[in-house]
Structure formats: C-alpha cells, structure tokens
Homo-oligomer: A and B are copies of this chain.
Amino acid sequence: MSCFFDWKEDRNLTLLVDFYELTMANGYLKKGVGEKIAYFDMYFRKVPDDGGFCIMAGVQQLIEYFNNLKFTDEDISYLRSKGIFSEEFLSYLKNFKFSCNVWAVPEGTPVFPNEPLVIVSGPAIQAQFVETMVLLTINHQTLIATKANRIVRAAAGRPIFEFGSRRAQGYDGAIFGARAAYIGGCVGSACTIAEKRFGIPAVGTMAHSWIQLFDSEYEAFKAWAETYPDNCLLLVDTYNVLKSGVPNAIRVFDEVLKPMGLRPVGIRIDSGDVKYLTEKSRKMLDDAGYPDCKIVVSNSMDEYIIRDVLSQGAKIDSFGVGERLITAKSEPVFGGVYKLVAIEENGKIIPKIKISENPEKITNPGFKQIYRLYDRDSNKAIADLITLADETIDETKPIEIFDPVFTWKRKKVENFYAKKLLVKIFENGRCVYECPSVNEIRDYCAAQIDTLWEEVLRFENPHKYYVDLSTKLWSVKQRLLNQFNILYNK
C-alpha cells in the first residue's frame, strides 16, 4: 500500500500516549489480566455546532499508527527511568507485537452519536494502550471533515479552498486538517505538503507583501500578469479595493493579458465588507468587459457568514476559508470517547457497562455492528440500527425499530436494504483493509451525503436521525442496568 507514510525513528509516536495507559498496562500484566480479551468502542455523544451528523475521517492515519507501533530501546530506557514499571512489563513492551482486531467505519461516511466508529478487541494490555491515539486521530480529522462539510454546503456549489495552515494548532493540525477538509468537500488547499503527500490540489497566488515589494500596486499587478499570464488572479485590497485595486487590475488585464489573447482568472478580496465590495467590483469588471473574471473572498469566513452574505446577494464565485475551518473555531473539540464494552471469559463475550448519573453517558455494552437501513425506492438512509455483532438483518421482512429511551416511539421499516457500516481493518494485528485514495473518499462522502434527507442536512435544529438499538442489544443493556441498580443504588 504505497499511499502509506512510514514513520521512522524520529517520528516515533509510540509514546504519544496518556501516561495512565502505561500504569494500567503494567498493572494488568502484574495482576494477570493483561492477556484477557477486551473490547473497546470509540464513539461520540454530540454533533459539533448542533449539526445533524458528522463525517468520519482519520482511518488511514490510524492504520499507519498501528502499523508503526513499536517501542525503541530509547523508549524502554525512558520508561525504566520512571522507576515504577516492572522489568517483566518493560520486556513485554520491548517484544511488543500488535495483535488486536480492529473494525472501523470507512472515512467519508456520515456518522451519528453513540455509534461505534472504531472497535478494538484484543489483549487488554494492548487494546487499552492504543486509546489515546485512536481518539486523537479520529477526533481531529472527524472534527475538521465535519466542519468543512458544513462550510461546503453553506456555499451552495461555490468552491471552498482551505487556507488555514498558519492558524492551525500545530503542524499535523495543518496537514491532516487539509486532508480532512478535502474529504469534507473542499476543492483544494493552500497547504502545499498536502498535495505532495495526499494529492490534494494546492492553490494560491499572492499575499499583500507581493504588492508592497513593488513601487506601486499597478507595477506589482503588471509583474504578476507577466509572470503568470495563464493564471492571473490579483489581490485587490492592499490599499483601496474600489479606488485602486480593481481599477489597477482592469488596467493590467487590458494591457498585459488582452494583447496575448488571454482572460484573467479573477480577483481576491481579503478585507472589508464583502457584500458591498463584491457587488461594486462585479459591476466594474462586467463594465470593463470581464464578466468571466471570478471574485474570490477570503476574510474570516465560515458557514454562518457565507450563508449570510450569499443571502444578501454578494457576488462571490468562490471562498478561501482559513482559521475558522482549520480549528473548527465555533466548536473546536470533537468529544470522542473510548470505552470498555465487553471482555471474553472462556471464549464467551461478556458485555460490560459504564454507568453515569447522566443517562446519555451510559455506554452501550457488548461487541456490536451498525446497520444502515436505506429505502429501496429513494435510496435515502432511514435509520441506523446498532446490533450485537452476530445479529443479521432480514431485508425481506419489515423491521420494527424503537427509540432506546422512549421505547413507545416505534417505527415499522419496510421496503429497505441494510448495509453494515463497520468493516474489519486489522485481523490479529495485521492490516486487512485497502485504504481508498483521498479522492475516492471525497467522492464517497459526497455520494453518502446525498442519501441523507434534507431535514438531516439542515443547519438549524436538524431532524434527529434515528440511531436505534436492536431488541437483543437493548435487552442486554437493560439487564446490566438492572444488575447495577441492585448492586449500587441500595
């Protein structure tokens, strides 16, 4: 799989791990439970920005992590220096060989709260250890893919370029953020390394400093047009958009491009009131014979501002979106969690539950699968059904689904087909999944979003998509809740 990035020694992220994973792992070994088979679910509880769904992303990087997971002698020496780990444990780490099974929802899939996005099963010592990186990887990219998709949808068909590297939270925030933004529907990124590494189209023209470095705006524009006559997009707001920038741009289009028989690509406005400035600029360009010259806007944009200025009639052909996308500024945390849901005893899977006073924080126990039910006529997604892993869905018969809390809320689903969402990506520590390219993931994402009803896509107060539990899973959960109640609420 040549698309994989091979982490060498100096990019060894094995110790990018919460310290308690190590203290627990050492304890599991000491207490003889390290080899007990445990099942962990990674899932989230709430869609950022109160949206209707999220976009799964980060699986490729998670695979790279598992593939590169090993402890160097330096790692072991450092751990030994802490003085709390047994030699038996350090020797276990030295010979560490990842042997878990892993399932994941493919990148680009719309996903919903409480669904397991990643399941890791294997020796407790291992399945526990990978928690930090499973969460970090999926939380980050899913956050950005979800935010990017909101912005893309707000622009209603106008291209969105990701311009946020300089305001990202760290280098990987920029690089993998650009990747996630592309999956979510952006058409390109200013982040050059993201093109080299993933094939995401890199775009960009000039900064204000280009203008300032020449003796005048006109000379700067002229120098640009002469350098890039085929790709002439001019930044017009260094001094004054309407009095200087657009008139100078038109003059250069006339003087440099016209004699060569070339058309300008566009102008970019990076400050000021974009509604007013784009309307005026549009008219000036049209009147000068450049109705095909595009207007790009790039000033603190997000889905809310884009919707607002477009609804006011701003004349914008595409958007460059920076800090508010690359940090998901309006809600910069994706709250994925990683919870123990089952253990094996004598080859049998024993479901486990984590209780909370907060009912929505109670976990769904057991080893599970997710089925997405689609309408046979419209191909729209009707509901997701979380089942125990060994359940099957009979597509030939109607199925009754019900709200797991308000169980009287029932719905009979007919004329449907069901697709499993979780696919196996690691079998006994060996990767068994072929990662699609980012272009394939991006196309898949767009196609999957087309299966969602408009009501789910709405920005404000979207319809809550059904994520229900199978009767069998629901019964397991009830049984564990009742047991807990007897034990602890005496």
Residues of chain A at the chain B interface (Cβ within 8 Å): 5-11, 13, 15-24, 26-28, 30-31, 33, 36, 38, 40, 74-75, 78, 82, 84, 124, 128, 131-132, 135-136, 139-140, 143-144, 163, 165-177, 190-193, 195-196, 202-210, 212-214, 223-224, 226-228, 231, 238-240, 243-244, 271-272, 323-324, 327-329, 332-336, 338-340, 343, 352, 354-358, 361, 484, 487-490
**B residues less than 8 Å from A30 (CB atoms):** 227
The answer to whether B354 and A165 have CB atoms under 8 Å apart is no
Most buried by B among A176, A238, A272, A356: A356
Give the CA-CA distance A487 to B238 in the complex, in Å.
13
A89 to chain B, nearest CB (A): 10
**B residues less than 8 Å from A190 (CB atoms):** 18-20
**B residues less than 8 Å from A165 (CB atoms):** 16-18, 132, 136
A467 to chain B, nearest CB (A): 22
Give the CA-CA distance A202 to B79 in the complex, in Å.
11
Contact among B174, B227, B335 with A323 in the assembled complex (CB-CB below 8 Å): B335
**B residues less than 8 Å from A329 (CB atoms):** 332-333
The answer to whether B209 and A128 have CB atoms under 8 Å apart is yes
Q: What are 8 sample pairs from A and B whose C-beta atoms fall under 8 A apart?
A: A15-B192, A19-B202, A31-B227, A40-B209, A136-B166, A136-B167, A167-B335, A243-B490
Known contacts A27-B227, A75-B196, A168-B170; 14 further A-B pairs (Cβ under 8 A): A15-B193, A16-B191, A17-B193, A18-B192, A19-B192, A24-B209, A27-B223, A82-B202, A84-B231, A132-B165, A136-B166, A136-B174, A143-B169, A271-B361
Give the CA-CA distance A433 to B240 in the complex, in Å.
41
Give the CA-CA distance A336 to B322 in the complex, in Å.
13
Give the CA-CA distance A1 to B32 in the complex, in Å.
44
Count of this chain's copies in the oligomeric assembly? 2
The answer to whether B361 and A171 have CB atoms under 8 Å apart is no
The answer to whether A271 and B332 have CB atoms under 8 Å apart is no
Known: A26-B227, A166-B131, A355-B239. A339 touches B488 (CB 8 A): no
Which B residue sits closest to A172, measured CB to CB?
A: B170
Which B residue sits closest to A331, measured CB to CB?
A: B329
**B residues less than 8 Å from A244 (CB atoms):** 488
**B residues less than 8 Å from A140 (CB atoms):** 168-170, 173
The answer to whether B84 and A16 have CB atoms under 8 Å apart is no
Which B residue sits closest to A219, measured CB to CB?
A: B31
**B residues less than 8 Å from A324 (CB atoms):** 333
Give the CA-CA distance A23 to B265 in the complex, in Å.
15
Q: Which 3 A-B pairs have the closest CB atoms?
A: A170-B172, A20-B204, A19-B204
The answer to whether B224 and A168 have CB atoms under 8 Å apart is no
Most buried by B among A202, A228, A489: A202
**B residues less than 8 Å from A339 (CB atoms):** 208-209
The answer to whether A168 and B136 have CB atoms under 8 Å apart is yes
Known: A202-B19, A207-B131, A209-B128. A171 touches B168 (CB 8 A): no
The answer to whether A171 and B16 have CB atoms under 8 Å apart is yes
Give the CA-CA distance A346 to B338 in the complex, in Å.
63
The answer to whether A238 and B355 have CB atoms under 8 Å apart is yes
A123 to chain B, nearest CB (A): 11
Most buried by B among A5, A206, A209: A209
Give the CA-CA distance A279 to B308 in the complex, in Å.
48
The answer to whether B192 and A16 have CB atoms under 8 Å apart is yes
**B residues less than 8 Å from A192 (CB atoms):** 15-19, 22
Most buried by B among A16, A176, A338: A16
The answer to whether A271 and B168 have CB atoms under 8 Å apart is no
Give the CA-CA distance A223 to B32 in the complex, in Å.
10
Which B residue sits closest to A141, measured CB to CB?
A: B170
Which B residue sits closest to A209, measured CB to CB?
A: B340
Known: A166-B132, A191-B18. A354 touches B484 (CB 8 A): no
The answer to whether B193 and A13 have CB atoms under 8 Å apart is yes
Give the CA-CA distance A231 to B488 in the complex, in Å.
27
Known: A323-B335, A357-B271. A206 touches B167 (CB 8 A): no
Give the CA-CA distance A352 to B214 in the complex, in Å.
11
The answer to whether A176 and B167 have CB atoms under 8 Å apart is no
**B residues less than 8 Å from A82 (CB atoms):** 202
Give the CA-CA distance A410 to B66 in the complex, in Å.
62
